[in-house]
Chains A and B, each alone.
Chain A
Amino acid sequence: MEATVARRVTYSPVSASDVIRMEQIRKVYDTGKVKVEALRGIDLRVGKGEFVAIVGPSGSGKSTLMNLVGCLDTPTSGNYHLGGTSVGSLDRNQLAEVRNRRIGFVFQSFNLLPQITAFENVEMPLLFGQVAKRRRHERVKELLNRVNLADRAEHRPTELSGGQMQRVAIARALAMDPDVLLADEPTGNLDTSSGGDIMGLFEELWTQGRTVLVITHDPALAKRAGRVVEVRDGYIVSDSAA
């Protein structure tokens, strides 16, 4: 518990070691006739080692925010620095590399590739990161151990329970040792007990120094985060320690 306390003490919204720094981020979807303004000027700083929950009703713009944070999409205007790198000026391949090295995605529906084993799923980001084979295999074993699934390495996703699949997905997200663990409703498809396990795992990772960003509308989940950012109508309407 001491570690947890220590982490909470280092929390500061204006830390110099910001992992995420967004300034006046706007995102407009142009559907031809109608322009939809999903984000209308977001300022967000997340320091290293923070555990942040982003909450808000559907349509609030939190998914758009997640896409921008995860470099899956680029903002219409504004500055975004991820781990000191300005993301706005990067080309597609550089963005792919940023996603590979700096972001670990965890999705609501797991998004494991069904035709390959748990081991190969976890190995995927390491392949894209062009990590040598021996090192890759060591790392995958280490990660599956970390999420207590060493005995399921050769199973395919269809042979795993929901909770197990999400643990594989987390192992995959951690593979390249990213700056930020980015989770979108990670417990949304799980029953209460597995969901609790997954949240416990995120908390554990946080106490070990990981930066975790969770998007959720589950208040119970948000409560476990160190900081809650509420998004509504494309603005951040509140930002507070839980």
Chain B
Amino acid sequence: MRLGLIAQLFLRSSRVQRKRAVLTIAAIAWGSVSLLLLLSFGEGLRRQLSAGTVGMGKDIAVIWPGATGKAYKGLPPGREIKVLIDDVELLRARMPEAQVSGEIQTGRASIVWGKKTVNGRVRGVWADYGEIRHNYAREGGRFLDPLDIQYKRRVIFLGNELAKDIFGDARPENQTVLLNGLPYTVVGVMKKKIQMGTYSGPDAGQSAIPISTFKSQWGRERLSVLLVKPHDPARMKQTLAHLAEILGAKYSFDPKDTRALGIWDTVENQKVTRNILLGIQLFLGVVGGLTLLIGGIGVANIMYAVVKERTREIGVKMALGARASWITGPLVMEGMTYTFVGGLIGLVISILIISALGLIPTEGNEALEFLGKPVLSLTVGLASAGILGLIGILAAYFPARRAARVDPAETLRYE
């Protein structure tokens, strides 16, 4: 009944000039658009960058065998640590807490298809490499599988850029290429991905063959890098310490020797990136919120004018027995209505702008690829609604409070 009464009183209170109401609503809409767009750009950026940071693999560590930096058990510093293919099997057996894999990199190798010759990089890898390093095959192909490794098959998985260089518009899957003169079947092409971190060039320009086949053709056994992905990302530090212990025991180096194994812990990096992104989003939100605040001041302004104009009306209502809340309630409702309508218009405009931006082709332009995809997520919507609601309530409450202080005797005194 009370709320119904307030709504009824709101509907029966006099209307402000249309032009003034329109301007106020426009100010709120403008503020809402800027808030929504800034937050959406922030969200788009966050998603792109997050996708980019995990482009190389999520929660993994890359380990380069280096040279010892300390003397250990009577051995001098400066000894090179050589980790071999078989060590991966050893580590897998001794480290149930993580996925362990690795790779051997070549320099340039010639890849020939028909009359086309391209120099590309080749990596010898295990089957789980695809999963760990986010080398997913696009439709119509696959990554290397355990049988490829077991039977030393001559199969090759191509990075999407490399595949394009070799095949142009032709379909690479199931074609045969010559890799340094030996025939390999293309089993898959990598799905396009954003990759921000690399340690030997982006995966798009690389190719992968089974580690066993690689060993046969190149005669190399020494791994370029080891890859570790703990089942629990929070235990990355312990996992790496465990790995250093195992290899330290085998190759006689101090597990705490930081130069024996070079380590890139992406979990740490992702944490930093997340915090930077959160900072950017907060900053954008504050900028948008301040713009919206100007709209809110517009609402407060119009509501103060309304209270002043309706002083007599308020006095009469008080004389007829209106309680203070029945005076303030409809005014708050009125202020909130301007804010709400403005916010709704802002939302519609923002959705239109964001959809239009989505239509702009950003292919090939990295800056635009990152920035040109604002995302109006539920979180963005809720955050905006929260800021808008808060501003609306404040903008309506203070003028309404002044109305409640109107002295009916004073307003009715002068006839």
Instruction: Using CB atoms and an 8 Å cutoff, list the residues of chain A in contact with chain B.
Output: 63, 67, 70, 72-73, 92-93, 96-97, 99-101, 105, 107-109, 111, 113-116, 120, 124-125, 127-130, 172, 176, 184-185, 188-189
Contacts and interface: CB of A to CB of B under 8 A. Distances in A.
A125 B321 CA distance: 7
B9 interface: yes
12 contacts: A67-B409, A72-B318, A72-B409, A99-B321, A111-B412, A113-B317, A114-B14, A115-B14, A127-B5, A127-B9, A128-B320, A130-B5
Binding site secondary structure of chain B: helix
Nearest to B310: A113
B413 interface: yes
A188 B318 contact: no
A115 B323 contact: no
Contacts of B321: 96-97, 99-101, 125, 128-129, 176
Interface residues of B, number: 26
B316 interface: yes
Contacts, number: 74
B360 to A, nearest CB: 49
Nearest to B408: A72
A70 B407 CA distance: 13
Nearest to B414: A109
Contacts of A184: 415
B415 A130 contact: no
B1 interface: yes
Given A108-B415, A115-B13, A93 B323 contact: yes
Contact of A72 (B1, B9, B317, B412): B412
B322 A96 contact: yes
Interface of B: 1, 5, 8-9, 12-15, 312-313, 316-324, 326, 407-409, 412-413, 415
B12 A96 contact: no
A134 to B, nearest CB: 14
B410 to A, nearest CB: 9
B403 to A, nearest CB: 13
A92 B322 CA distance: 10
Contact of A116 (B1, B12, B324, B326): B12
A107 B415 contact: yes
A109 B9 CA distance: 22
Given A100-B320, A105-B319, 15 more contacts: A63-B413, A72-B319, A92-B324, A93-B324, A96-B321, A96-B322, A99-B319, A107-B412, A111-B312, A111-B316, A111-B319, A115-B14, A124-B317, A128-B320, A184-B415
A125 B320 contact: yes
B191 to A, nearest CB: 65
User: Which one of A67, A111, A114, A130 has the highest number of Cβ atoms from chain B below 10 Å of its Cβ?
Assistant: A111
Contacts of A99: 318-321
Contact of A70 (B319, B323, B415): B319
Top 6 A-B pairs, shortest CB-CB distance: A100-B321, A115-B14, A72-B409, A128-B321, A73-B409, A67-B409
Contacts of B8: 127
